[in-house]
Structure 1
């Protein structure tokens, strides 16, 4: 089965050359990390990445991708929220390739079958993946920065409460510990608030992420009513990365759509974080 792109031509260009050029310009944007290559021996176990249109969130996302650019993982485990609420509480898929303007990426069906057996929540269900952009927008970025062949393990979450995140995080750990894997949590932060308030809200939620403190993370999320869309994905990644040996998260970049566009009345927050 080929999973056709849903948001090519909307969130990112649908022509290969245009897409490559836009990714390059996101790296070189004044909010981006620059395109000079890095050689790092630091093992990054996971990243948090935004998933909006590239012109808004791409420069921020590139910070996370630059941090893993010299790692050459064989498997990218991408976890994101199900914005449309279709399908299962948590779903992966098998016997599939994801198509982007940059080519095809194979799903690791063996890992998908294993994780569906390990997890109480994750089921194999193509339909859950049929409408959403949260995983899709990460794939061209990976194709753009990784020089090696890699496979993906897509996991989309309709259930994002702490019980689901614990289950998914522990299951992801069981897969990742056996592979040269990178875990990617796809999430935006505050939605449709005034710019300075968004910065303030997101700073509060990012603090427990950097401490890998999942209990405090959910506490802040609920108490402050932070409207981060992929909170379960971030919590799952925190749990898995901590079990893999991560000691902390590091904030690489934070910006809002208002910081990019200048329209600060109603913004969306974007953060790039690495777990090391």
Structure 2
């Protein structure tokens, strides 16, 4: 049961050697890695967000087991928390095994259902996998694709994710972009409102400000679940590694997408 790449050649290079060199370059540009409990990284095409994701992963001494949480952009499959059930995830760099024990622990969490359909065309988890492969070649993962959950559902799931991560010594990875298609200054203003709550480790405050102010942060549910899990793991602080937007690459500041990389320790 292999999850084949859906966006290789579109969001990132489909040539293994080129992809490895690009990812290695971004990973080598960061500070010395240190243990962490969780991260939030963007999931756009690498030309736009690869440097932010790489700088963030570079700050982390990646463990051998990772839980990846991403939003469901396609609307396919289970509307709650869709769990890839077994097998491996393939990229042009090779295959990453699905961790059976970690996946079984998540399968028992509230609102989780084994479902491949939600994952088949979804890019938000796939684009993180090459970074995991290059940072830790022996990495294994468990993958949840998340629909539009209430805060109460995020809290229940995050508690279970935290327990599973603690038992496995796993890093929790939330995949999210920030504001979409706003002028650069307005996107930054709105994004900093959300990031203020995220850096305060305030899961409910993050969820509420994004909903109340209409901040188009597509991975609000994964980020909220990640924060709940991190607090359950004993998190004491978070660091904004880098903030950027698509206009820095395209030259168009009139309608940008924001990207942020955060490490929680």
Q: How far off is 1:21 after superposition?
A: 2.3
TM-score norm. by structure 2 comes to 0.95
Name the structure 2 match of 1:9. 9
Aligned pairs for 1:1-276 within 5 A: 1-27=1-27, 34=29, 38=32, 40=34, 43-68=35-60, 71-88=61-78, 89-117=80-108, 119-146=109-136, 148-276=137-265
Say whether the 8 Å CA contact 1:169–1:239 is kept in structure 2: yes
Structure 1 residue 25: deviation in Å?
4.3
Q: Distance in 2 between matches of 1:218 and 1:95?
A: 31
Aligned-pair distance for 1:180? 2.0
Q: Return closer, same or farther for 1:72/1:273 CA change in 2, 3 Å cut-off.
A: closer
Which stretch has the larger CA shift, 74-83 or 88-97? 88-97
Aligned length: 264
**Kept after mapping to 2: 8 A contact 1:91/1:122:** yes
Give the Cα separation in 2 of the matches to 1:176 and 1:95: 18
TM-score under structure 1 length normalisation: 0.92
Distance in 2 (alpha carbons) for counterparts of 1:94 and 1:120: 16
Deviation at 1:261, TM superposition (A): 2.4
Q: Which runs of 5+ in 1 are unaligned?
A: 29-33
- More off after superposition, 47-56 vs 14-23: 14-23
CA contact (8 A) 1:164 1:232 kept: no
Q: What SS does the corresponding residue of 1:135 show, helix, strand or coil?
A: helix
Unaligned runs of 5+ in 2: none
In terms of mean alpha carbon deviation, does 86-95 or 133-142 score higher?
Answer: 86-95
